[in-house]
Amino acid sequence: MLLKKGSKGSSVSELQQLLNEHGAQPPLKIDGDFGPATDRAVRAYQQERGIKVDGLAGDQTFGALRGGGPRKPKPQAQNQSGNRTTASPGNSPTEVSVPMRNLDGLNADFRAKVVNILKELAGKGWKPVVAEGLRTRAQQAEKVRLGYSKTMNSAHLLGLGADIVDRRYAWGGPAANTSFQFWNDLGVAARAQGLIWGGDWKKFKDVAHVEAPRR
Protein backbone atom coordinates (compact mmCIF):
# COMPACT_ATOMS: atom_id res chain seq x y z
CA MET A 1 0.00 0.00 0.00
CA LEU A 2 1.29 3.44 -0.89
CA LEU A 3 -0.58 6.59 0.05
CA LYS A 4 0.36 10.05 -1.11
CA LYS A 5 -1.06 13.56 -1.45
CA GLY A 6 -4.40 13.25 -3.23
CA SER A 7 -5.19 9.76 -1.92
CA LYS A 8 -8.59 9.24 -0.32
CA GLY A 9 -10.44 6.57 1.61
CA SER A 10 -10.38 4.49 4.77
CA SER A 11 -6.64 3.80 4.54
CA VAL A 12 -5.99 7.54 4.68
CA SER A 13 -8.27 7.78 7.72
CA GLU A 14 -6.19 5.06 9.40
CA LEU A 15 -3.02 6.96 8.51
CA GLN A 16 -4.40 10.18 10.01
CA GLN A 17 -5.47 8.32 13.17
CA LEU A 18 -1.99 6.80 13.58
CA LEU A 19 -0.28 10.15 13.01
CA ASN A 20 -2.47 11.72 15.70
CA GLU A 21 -1.57 8.89 18.09
CA HIS A 22 2.09 9.71 17.45
CA GLY A 23 1.60 13.38 18.27
CA ALA A 24 0.84 15.09 14.95
CA GLN A 25 0.73 18.86 15.50
CA PRO A 26 -1.70 20.30 14.94
CA PRO A 27 -3.84 17.15 15.24
CA LEU A 28 -5.26 16.04 11.93
CA LYS A 29 -8.92 15.98 11.06
CA ILE A 30 -9.68 12.34 10.29
CA ASP A 31 -11.52 12.78 7.01
CA GLY A 32 -9.90 10.23 4.69
CA ASP A 33 -8.46 12.99 2.50
CA PHE A 34 -4.66 13.08 2.08
CA GLY A 35 -4.34 16.85 1.77
CA PRO A 36 -1.57 19.34 2.62
CA ALA A 37 -1.95 18.95 6.41
CA THR A 38 -1.60 15.17 6.21
CA ASP A 39 1.37 15.54 3.86
CA ARG A 40 3.11 17.84 6.37
CA ALA A 41 2.38 15.43 9.22
CA VAL A 42 3.77 12.46 7.26
CA ARG A 43 6.95 14.36 6.41
CA ALA A 44 7.40 15.51 10.02
CA TYR A 45 6.97 11.94 11.25
CA GLN A 46 9.41 10.59 8.66
CA GLN A 47 11.95 13.22 9.71
CA GLU A 48 11.51 12.27 13.37
CA ARG A 49 11.94 8.55 12.68
CA GLY A 50 14.85 8.83 10.29
CA ILE A 51 12.76 7.58 7.35
CA LYS A 52 13.30 9.04 3.88
CA VAL A 53 11.31 12.29 3.88
CA ASP A 54 9.20 12.06 0.73
CA GLY A 55 5.62 12.41 1.98
CA LEU A 56 4.80 8.90 0.76
CA ALA A 57 3.14 6.63 3.31
CA GLY A 58 4.27 3.15 2.30
CA ASP A 59 5.27 -0.02 4.14
CA GLN A 60 8.16 1.58 6.04
CA THR A 61 6.16 4.56 7.31
CA PHE A 62 3.11 2.45 8.17
CA GLY A 63 5.33 -0.13 9.86
CA ALA A 64 6.83 2.52 12.12
CA LEU A 65 3.43 4.04 12.87
CA ARG A 66 2.04 0.63 13.81
CA GLY A 67 4.75 0.02 16.37
CA GLY A 68 8.06 -0.56 14.65
CA GLY A 69 11.09 0.99 16.31
CA PRO A 70 11.52 3.55 19.08
CA ARG A 71 10.85 7.22 18.59
CA LYS A 72 13.77 9.61 18.63
CA PRO A 73 13.89 11.32 22.04
CA LYS A 74 13.08 15.02 21.98
CA PRO A 75 14.84 17.50 24.24
CA GLN A 76 12.59 19.10 26.83
CA ALA A 77 12.65 22.87 27.10
CA GLN A 78 13.22 24.36 30.51
CA ASN A 79 11.18 27.51 29.98
CA GLN A 80 7.55 28.47 29.58
CA SER A 81 7.63 29.71 26.01
CA GLY A 82 8.46 26.67 23.89
CA ASN A 83 6.24 23.99 22.44
CA ARG A 84 8.13 21.09 24.05
CA THR A 85 7.81 21.96 27.72
CA THR A 86 5.85 19.63 30.00
CA ALA A 87 4.16 20.33 33.28
CA SER A 88 2.99 18.14 36.14
CA PRO A 89 0.07 18.73 38.50
CA GLY A 90 1.48 19.53 41.89
CA ASN A 91 -1.15 17.92 44.10
CA SER A 92 -1.96 14.83 42.06
CA PRO A 93 -1.07 11.47 43.64
CA THR A 94 -0.07 10.27 40.17
CA GLU A 95 2.42 12.43 38.32
CA VAL A 96 1.34 13.14 34.74
CA SER A 97 2.87 15.34 32.09
CA VAL A 98 1.04 17.43 29.55
CA PRO A 99 2.45 19.05 26.39
CA MET A 100 2.81 22.82 26.44
CA ARG A 101 2.12 23.33 22.73
CA ASN A 102 0.48 26.30 21.03
CA LEU A 103 0.36 28.35 24.23
CA ASP A 104 2.55 31.21 23.02
CA GLY A 105 0.65 34.47 22.73
CA LEU A 106 -2.14 33.50 25.11
CA ASN A 107 -3.14 35.91 27.87
CA ALA A 108 -1.14 34.89 30.97
CA ASP A 109 -4.15 34.28 33.24
CA PHE A 110 -6.02 32.40 30.52
CA ARG A 111 -2.94 30.35 29.72
CA ALA A 112 -2.62 29.24 33.35
CA LYS A 113 -6.24 28.07 33.30
CA VAL A 114 -5.71 26.19 30.05
CA VAL A 115 -2.73 24.41 31.61
CA ASN A 116 -4.91 23.43 34.57
CA ILE A 117 -7.48 22.00 32.15
CA LEU A 118 -4.79 19.98 30.37
CA LYS A 119 -3.63 18.57 33.70
CA GLU A 120 -7.18 17.70 34.72
CA LEU A 121 -7.85 15.86 31.47
CA ALA A 122 -4.49 14.06 31.54
CA GLY A 123 -5.30 12.91 35.06
CA LYS A 124 -8.41 11.24 33.67
CA GLY A 125 -6.34 9.27 31.17
CA TRP A 126 -6.84 11.51 28.14
CA LYS A 127 -4.01 12.83 25.97
CA PRO A 128 -4.98 16.50 25.64
CA VAL A 129 -3.22 19.06 23.49
CA VAL A 130 -3.99 22.61 22.46
CA ALA A 131 -4.73 22.28 18.75
CA GLU A 132 -4.97 26.04 18.26
CA GLY A 133 -4.38 29.08 20.41
CA LEU A 134 -3.64 32.59 19.18
CA ARG A 135 -4.74 33.27 15.58
CA THR A 136 -4.00 36.08 13.16
CA ARG A 137 -6.88 37.86 11.44
CA ALA A 138 -5.97 36.10 8.21
CA GLN A 139 -6.16 32.71 9.90
CA GLN A 140 -9.52 33.60 11.46
CA ALA A 141 -10.86 34.79 8.12
CA GLU A 142 -9.94 31.42 6.61
CA LYS A 143 -11.75 29.62 9.46
CA VAL A 144 -14.85 31.68 8.73
CA ARG A 145 -14.57 30.99 5.01
CA LEU A 146 -14.40 27.24 5.64
CA GLY A 147 -17.32 27.35 8.06
CA TYR A 148 -15.27 26.37 11.12
CA SER A 149 -16.08 29.69 12.78
CA LYS A 150 -18.92 32.17 12.46
CA THR A 151 -17.27 35.38 13.60
CA MET A 152 -14.34 37.72 13.10
CA ASN A 153 -14.67 38.69 16.75
CA SER A 154 -13.11 35.46 17.99
CA ALA A 155 -11.40 35.16 21.36
CA HIS A 156 -8.54 33.47 19.49
CA LEU A 157 -7.56 36.87 18.08
CA LEU A 158 -7.07 38.24 21.59
CA GLY A 159 -5.16 35.30 23.05
CA LEU A 160 -8.25 34.44 25.09
CA GLY A 161 -9.40 31.33 23.21
CA ALA A 162 -8.04 27.83 22.68
CA ASP A 163 -9.13 24.61 21.00
CA ILE A 164 -8.30 21.52 23.05
CA VAL A 165 -8.47 17.98 21.66
CA ASP A 166 -7.28 14.49 22.52
CA ARG A 167 -4.30 14.05 20.20
CA ARG A 168 -5.32 10.48 19.34
CA TYR A 169 -8.62 11.54 17.82
CA ALA A 170 -8.64 15.31 17.21
CA TRP A 171 -12.11 15.89 15.71
CA GLY A 172 -12.38 12.47 14.06
CA GLY A 173 -13.22 8.90 14.99
CA PRO A 174 -15.22 8.77 18.24
CA ALA A 175 -14.56 12.49 18.73
CA ALA A 176 -16.78 13.24 15.72
CA ASN A 177 -19.67 12.65 18.13
CA THR A 178 -20.24 15.81 20.18
CA SER A 179 -21.35 13.59 23.09
CA PHE A 180 -17.92 11.89 23.21
CA GLN A 181 -16.78 11.69 26.84
CA PHE A 182 -13.64 13.74 26.21
CA TRP A 183 -15.77 16.73 25.22
CA ASN A 184 -17.92 16.34 28.34
CA ASP A 185 -14.82 16.18 30.54
CA LEU A 186 -13.41 19.24 28.77
CA GLY A 187 -16.61 21.16 29.46
CA VAL A 188 -16.53 20.26 33.15
CA ALA A 189 -12.87 21.25 33.46
CA ALA A 190 -13.41 24.53 31.59
CA ARG A 191 -16.35 25.56 33.75
CA ALA A 192 -14.35 24.72 36.90
CA GLN A 193 -11.75 27.26 35.72
CA GLY A 194 -14.42 29.90 35.16
CA LEU A 195 -14.09 29.66 31.37
CA ILE A 196 -16.72 29.47 28.63
CA TRP A 197 -17.03 26.12 26.84
CA GLY A 198 -18.13 26.17 23.22
CA GLY A 199 -20.12 22.97 23.74
CA ASP A 200 -22.64 25.00 25.76
CA TRP A 201 -23.39 27.30 22.83
CA LYS A 202 -26.82 26.77 21.27
CA LYS A 203 -26.46 28.03 17.70
CA PHE A 204 -22.94 26.84 16.92
CA LYS A 205 -21.57 24.10 19.17
CA ASP A 206 -17.78 24.15 19.25
CA VAL A 207 -16.94 21.35 21.66
CA ALA A 208 -13.14 21.77 21.43
CA HIS A 209 -13.26 25.49 22.22
CA VAL A 210 -12.72 27.23 25.55
CA GLU A 211 -12.41 30.95 26.11
CA ALA A 212 -12.19 33.56 28.83
CA PRO A 213 -15.25 35.69 29.57
CA ARG A 214 -14.89 39.17 28.09
CA ARG A 215 -16.01 42.16 30.08
**Residue 95 pLDDT > 70:** no
In a shared domain, residues 60 and 100: no
**Domain match, 48 and 107 both:** no
21 and 105 housed in the same domain: no
- When pLDDT is averaged across residues 9-35 and rounded to a whole number, the result is 87
- For the residues of 148-181, what is the DSSP string, one character each? S-S-SS-GGGGT-EEEEEETTTTTSGGGGSTT-H
Q: Does 130 lie in the same domain as 24?
A: no
54 lies in the same domain as 115 = no
Question: How far is residue 163's CA from residue 160's CA, in Å, rounded to a whole number?
Answer: 11
70 lies in some domain: no
75 within some domain: no
**Do 188 and 137 lie in a common domain?**
yes
Say if residue 159's pLDDT is above 50. yes
Q: End of a domain among 46, 65, 84? A: 65
Q: Are 99 and 17 found together in one domain?
A: no
Count the domains in the chain.
Answer: 2
> Is the separation of the CB atoms in 44 and 23 below 8 Å?
no
In-domain check, residue 17: yes
In a domain? residue 42: yes
Q: Which of 65, 86, 105 is at the close of a domain?
A: 65
Torsion sign, CA atoms 179, 34, 101, 211: negative
The model's pTM is 0.63
Q: How far apart, in whole angstroms, are the C-alpha atoms of residue 171 and residue 35? A: 16
| Residue 161 · residue 154 · CB < 8 Å | yes
Please give the residue range of the domain that contains residue 34: 10-65
How much is the pLDDT for 215? Answer: 75
Higher pLDDT, 203 or 210: 210
State pLDDT tens for residues 112-132: 999 999 999 999 999 999 988
In eight-state DSSP terms, residue 25 is S
124: amino acid identity, one letter: K
115 and 205 inside one domain: yes
- Residue 167 belongs to a domain with what CATH number? 3.30.1380.10
Query: What is the average per-residue pLDDT within 60-86?
Result: 54
Q: Report how far Cα 6 is from the mean position of its chain's Cα atoms.
A: 23
Cβ atoms of 109 and 131 closer than 8 Å: no
Kindly state whether residue 163 falls inside one of the protein's structural domains.
yes
Pick the last residue of a domain from 65, 83, 107: 65
Residues 38 and 118 reside in one and the same domain: no
Residue 196, domain member (yes or no): yes
What three-state secondary structure class fits 113? helix
Q: CA 173, 174, 179, 182 torsion: positive or negative?
A: negative
Residues 6 or more apart whose CB falls under 8 angstroms from that of 11 comprise 1, 3
Question: Do 106 and 40 reside in the same domain of the chain?
Answer: no
Measured distance CA(124)–CA(126) in Å, rounded: 6
Q: Are 46 and 104 within one domain? A: no
- The answer to the question of residue 83 being in a domain is no
Q: Read off the pLDDT of each residue in 135-156 and give the average, rounded to a whole number.
A: 85
Assess whether pLDDT exceeds 60 at residue 83: no
Residue 1 forms part of a structural domain? no
Based on the domain organization, do 59 and 103 belong to the same domain? no
Give pLDDT, residue 89: 39
d(CA 150, CA 170): 20
